[in-house]
Amino acid sequence: MWILPVEHKKQHYIPQSYLSAWADPETPEGQEPYVWVVNKESLDIRNRAPKNIMFKRDFYTTETEKGERDLRLEKGLSVFEGEFVQVRDHVIEPHKQLSPDDQMVLIAYISAMHSRTPASIDRFNPMYEELLDKMKAMSKWAETASPAQLESTSLHHPIDSERSYEVSINDIQSIVDSPMPSLLPSSIMAEIEALSVLDLAILETTTCPGFITSDNPVVWFDPEGYNRNWPNQGPALIYPSIEISMAISPKYCLFLNRQGVNGYINLSKLGPLDEIKRVNNANLRVQASAKTSIIVSRNIIYWNWFNTLPEK
């Protein structure tokens, strides 16, 4: 009996086309190109082919009303991936000037990469789980509440269809059970709009192993955050000191900011010590932001990637 393969069952939350930029240039001839995967807790390092890492089964798949697998989200993400690879390989690598369309491709890609990973679920879920618990508690209370008690709560108030909409427990339960398909499209669109007003620079290094990446490659960081009172110390777009970065290869790193830094910036022109310091600081941020794994193009680990986060 023949069993037909299920289309797109294995869905990469970090695309193979992205990871391939970290393929070890010393991969033996005839062997499938591999990257080096470092466990950030144990520091165990192993070489793996990009196709064999950073995926989950049906991570972006939804189900149609007929019970069929809906792959529109997975295939939509592949469009972002293809456009990004074209800009990375045919615009950035030869140092061509970025057109407005090229910049939007990069903004869309970094927005998708920030929202499509398991680490992003860690940001989404606590809020919705708390809301679900409160809604369930309120629903249970309403079962025994008197009409007068119901009248005093919003449970009995009509919904103004022009100004609001009703969200059911089932709606929130669906988000908690399947956060990625439920939230990813709106999250990406919101970030594209927010990030499109920032300055965009492309940092370049000649160091080895250069920039690293991770299973959570987009890093939001604010070097001035420690000067603010809690709970306002985290990075946010309202602050002029916000810095958002994502390595796109060992050689290049996208850098979004509100400080007027834009265009190609060759870090080697700053001098070798300054270049090394800046690359190490970028890699330290990547390691700190990673969920479980970092990716390196060589069988190399530097201890200063695991120090405390730099202030600047």
Domain-wise residue ranges, the chain: 19-111+186-306
- Residues 170-221: tens digit of each pLDDT: 665 565 566 666 778 888 999 999 999 999 999 999 999 999 999 999 999 9
Structure tokens at 49: 């082919």
Structure tokens at 248: 């796109």
User: CB neighbours (10 Å) of residue 277?
Assistant: 15
Ranges assigned E (strand) in 164-250: 199-204, 213-214, 219-221, 243-247
In a 13 Å sphere around the CA of 35, the CA atoms on its Cβ side amount to: 28
pTM beyond 0.85, yes or no: no
Q: Where are the alpha helices (DSSP H) in the chain?
A: 16-19, 72-87, 100-115, 118-144, 147-151, 169-177, 179-195, 272-289
Average pLDDT score, the chain: 85
Q: Residues 6 or more apart from 115 whose CB is under 8 A from it? A: 183, 184, 187, 188, 191
User: CB neighbours (10 Å) of residue 193?
Assistant: 11
Counting as low any pLDDT under 70, the low residues of the chain are 1-8, 122, 124-137, 139-143, 149-181, 308-312
Find how far residue 95's CA is from the centre of its chain: 25
Contact 18, 81 (CB under 8 A): yes
